Amino acid sequence: MNMFHRFGLLTALMCSVTASNATHIIGGELYYDHLGGSQYQVTLKLYRDCTGIVFDPSAAIGVFDGVTNELIQVQSISFPGGSFIPITLDSPCLTLPPNVCVETTSYVSLFTLPPSPNGYVLSYQRCCRTSIINNLLNPGDLGLTVTTRIPGQSIPVNSSARFNELPPVALCLNAPLAFDHSATDPDGDSLVYSLTTPYNGGTSTAPQPNPPAAPPYALLPWGAGYSENYPMDSNPAIAIDPVTGLLTVTPTLQGNFTVGVMVQEYRSGVLLTETRRDFLFKVVACDATVTAGMAGQAASDYCDDLTIAFVNTSNGASVWHWDFGVPGVEDDTSNVQSPVFTFPEPGTYTVTQIANPGTTCADTTSAVFMVYFSPQPFFTPPPPFCGNDPVILVAEGVFGPNAVLQWQFGSGSVPPSSADSIVTVQFSGPGTHPVSLLVTENGCSTVFTESIVNHPQPDASFYALPVSPQPVGTAVNFTDTSDPGGGSISDWSWAIDGTVFAPSASTAVWNTDWPGTFLITLTVTDEFGCSDVASLWYTLIGEPIRIPNVFSPNGDGLNDAFHIENIQYYHNELTIYSRWGNKVYQVRNYKNQWKGEDLPEGTYYYVLQMDEGTEFSGHVTLLR
């Protein structure tokens, strides 16, 4: 299984430079697509060592006659930008050293090439290669030529073959590699693969020939012990299947090795063209250490979300297996590098990571992760109230019995704080009192804050002038002397025996013809709706009651009614009984109107009940 060791893009490319022999070019290939008529899209792929100078601002491709090798035209293609090749290894137990880096680019342009009986040869040349190549003589003075052939007009339509994948840049020492080096031909022609010797091209004095030199081209000089079919130290020797393009090699020497691979294109048994890939293999000593690892959970990352994005901190692994520790569940696993998992319910879970599972270099690590919802506390404050009576508050909401509660009531309150779920608190006085309830459960905390408002309580009082008692008919003045308690009085209600007798004002006047003792009350209300009541008893003295013992209702205008002197000043109830105890007359607030209608002469008995409690009883004689 391959492991990808990715290098990030450089933040900026170096400024464009003139041609230099320090380019560290390490390979390339050239292919084309026939777009119809005289139009061809030509692609030049180049590879360079990252330690060298950046790619040229433009690449000059020469077009030569396919038979005479005469130069027909030169076309320069602007640099389109480069990208770094992912470094691949064939074993999940191996890791690369950090200094392996290769960049590639593709110069692409349209060429107008009219049909020609001789066809064309397209070529690009560049010097120089890196000096640390093992299998070439004086590699720092060598360059490369990449070339391709367009058949003559007897083959009117043809696009060249192109390799499907980039070969791995780095090979691990003594580690076998099997790489699919096959190509694709747009026309479906037959393809044959072989190892080949790359072409040299360019010199240290003319590193970027413009125009390129005409064919034929010189081959690279192999170093001692190396050849086209044995370009690098390997056991068994490097080989490529001529039919499938499968390249196999087990490198036995650490170093840098130039390798050439050629694909030839045949149609009806006729060779049309060939595409050569010139490439550099870096054989390195790979580190076989694999260490599983995952980032721990931050203290603030386990509340209010059952989903965790795991951070993989393992080293040297290419595959992973995660088990998220959900009891009784088999599918709580993942094989991605840094998974995201949603736990089914709050709780504490042991998460396990296996790096490179199923290999001899596998490593395992576990860590505890917690996922909980924050508590959701609240309490219901009483509506704004008057005075400073104690308040009962109850902690409510979503949290368990083991949650830790902390009330804060403010300085001067009794108590200033509490850890109980139900608490009785008295504040320092009227005002707005912020109250907070902090609930902590499973390490997750939530604060609920609400204000409790209590208004000042007015203290009602008043006085009466003249002071009680006074005769019936006296005008009595009442004056409010209430203490507003910090607010302001906005309403007054004056009442006598429960009946309001004056408009809302701080003073009132009362006058009545009725004697007796009366309950005077004052209710005061402030702008907050807080009220208080004060009361006093006031006595009005009337003339004494005088009750006759005889009357004569004969119509002569004299003593025709049972006349009780001064009865009109008193609230009363009069009841008359016959001598046999039968009730013959009863009235509320008697005012001398009984004349004994339809009753015979005789003696009758009366009971006169005064509202203030006095009772008179006796007999009266009715004469006609």
Domain boundaries, the chain: 3-8+23-284, 307-371, 376-455, 462-541, 550-622
Q: Which long-range contacts (CB under 8 A, 24 or more apart) does 464-470 make?
A: 464/520, 464/536, 464/538, 468/536, 468/537, 468/538, 468/539, 469/538, 469/539, 469/540, 469/541, 470/539, 470/540, 470/541
**What local confidence, expressed as pLDDT, does residue 299 receive?**
67
The CATH number assigned to the domain with range 462-541 reads 2.60.40.10
Fold of 3-8+23-284: Immunoglobulin-like (2.60.40)
Alpha-carbon gap, residue 443 to 440, rounded angstroms = 6
The pLDDT tens digits for 385-429 are 999 999 999 999 999 999 999 999 999 999 999 999 999 999 999
Fold of 307-371: Immunoglobulin-like (2.60.40)
Length of the chain counted residue by residue: 624
Tell me if domain 462-541 and domain 550-622 are identical in fold. Answer: yes
Fold of 376-455: Immunoglobulin-like (2.60.40)
Alpha-carbon gap, residue 217 to 503, rounded angstroms = 122
Q: Partners of 6 in the beta sheet?
A: none
The pLDDT tens digits for 27-84 are 899 999 999 999 999 999 998 888 767 889 999 999 999 999 999 999 999 999 998 8
Using DSSP's 3-state secondary structure scheme, residue 15 falls into coil
Alpha-carbon gap, residue 549 to 282, rounded angstroms = 146
Using DSSP's 3-state secondary structure scheme, residue 315 falls into strand
Spatial CB neighbours of 78, under 8 Å, sequence gap ≥ 6: 57, 58, 107
**What local confidence, expressed as pLDDT, does residue 4 receive?**
30
Quick one: tokens of 10?
Answer: 């450089």
pLDDT < 70 regions, the chain: 1-23, 52, 88-99, 287-288, 299-300, 360
**What local confidence, expressed as pLDDT, does residue 379 receive?**
97
The CATH number assigned to the domain with range 550-622 reads 2.60.40
**What local confidence, expressed as pLDDT, does residue 173 receive?**
87
Residue 208 DSSP one-character state = S
The C-alpha angle 537, 538, 543, rounded to 5 degrees, equals 140
